[in-house]
Amino acid sequence: MNRILLIEDDAETAEAIVAELADRGFEVQWAGDGVDGLNRARASSPDAMIVDRMLPGMDGLSVIETLRKDQVRTPVLVLSALGAVDDRVRGLRMGGDDYLTKPFALVELVARIEALLRRPTDCRETILHVGPLELDLIERTARRGGRELDLLPREFRLLEYMMRRNDQLLTRAMLLEEVWNYKFVPATTNLIDVHMGRLRHKVDGPGEVQLIHNVRGSGFVLRSRQ
């Protein structure tokens, strides 16, 4: 069971996050201010941390910076109402691993925490295998069983990203940031869906077991286990 430390001063927000993470099988500790959060982080060595930026006593970024100076490598998701690009960059520079702007969807928070906890498959591999899927990173070819998949460069990157995080919910925001390198929300809301639809059309042929699943209202998942 993964242990998560949440440092958040707003009790209602914290309550909702704790409840959601507990439902998903995480063990959650909650600290209401920066100093208490720092002490708990040092004492209990959690598997991941969720840190709000604006905290009483000691602000979130200082907490992260102090931990990083102490050589604590725990993955950290920064929460903040400050959503400007400069704020995000600063949050990540100070030692945050991911940044989520308030208000956020709980499903987004959980997906990002899971992504932080499950490091992607060893990056040194040159051929990825997920179920019947095989992706050759050198040859830039993709196969499903004996069938060759004809993918466009962007689709190849998308499939690679999903295979490295199989069985993990990937939200549209995560895909936009990681695969498309978008720093903003596009006006066309179905942008990801259209691209995903085309990839799914190529990956899941007629009569084949569906690998790419749409999780309603949340995002997508590549399931290796049926």
Partner 1 sequence: MHQIQLIRSATFLWALAVAAAFGLFVVALFAFVYFKLDDYLVARSDRMITRQIHFMADLPPARRVNAIADHLAQDSRGVQYAGLFDAAGVRLAGNIERVPRGLQLDGAVQGVRLDLFEKPVLHVPVVRAVGTRLEGGDVVVMGRNVDETREISSVVGEALALGLLPAFSLCLLAGAWLSLRAQRRVEEVNQRVQRIVAGELRERLPEGDTDDSFARLAGIVNGMLDEMETMISALASVGNDIAHDLRTPLTRVRLALERGRTHAATLEELQEVTDNAIAGIDQSLAIVTALLRLTEIENNRRTAGFGDVALDEILREVLDVYEPIAEDKRIGLGVVVERNVRVWGDRDLLFEAVANLVDNAIKFTPSGGRVELALEAEDDTALVSVSDTGPGISEQEREAVLRRFYRSDRMRNTPGVGLGLSLVAAIVKLHGFRLIIGPAPGGRVEILAWTRGAAKSATRRVADGAACRRQPDGMSQMKRDAFANGQPDLSVGVTNAD
Torsion 8-12-13-19 (CA) sign: positive
Least Å from the CB of residue 85 to partner 1: 7
Least Å from the CB of residue 183 to partner 1: 5
Nearer to partner 1 by Cβ, of 3 and 182: the residue is 182
136 contacts 126 by C-beta, under 8 angstroms: yes
Least Å from the CB of residue 25 to partner 1: 22
Least Å from the CB of residue 195 to partner 1: 5
Nearer to partner 1 by Cβ, of 5 and 159: the residue is 159
118 contacts 110 by C-beta, under 8 angstroms: no
Q: Assess whether the previous peptide bond of 206 is cis (omega < 30° from 0).
A: no
Buried b (16+ CB within 10 A) or exposed e, 126-135: eebebbebbb
Nearer to partner 1 by Cβ, of 185 and 209: the residue is 185
Instruction: Return d(Cα 147, Cα 29) in angstroms, integer.
Output: 48
- Environment class of 48 (CB within 10 Å of its CB; exposed 0-12, middle 13-18, buried 19+): buried
Nearer to partner 1 by Cβ, of 61 and 199: the residue is 199
**For residue 186, what is the DSSP state?**
-
Least Å from the CB of residue 162 to partner 1: 17
Query: What is the amino acid identity at position 190?
Result: N
Structure token pair of residue 59 = 């602000």
Binding residues (CB under 8 A) for partner 1: these are 83-86, 101, 103, 105, 152-154, 180, 183-191, 194-195, 197-198, 217
Nearer to partner 1 by Cβ, of 92 and 191: the residue is 191
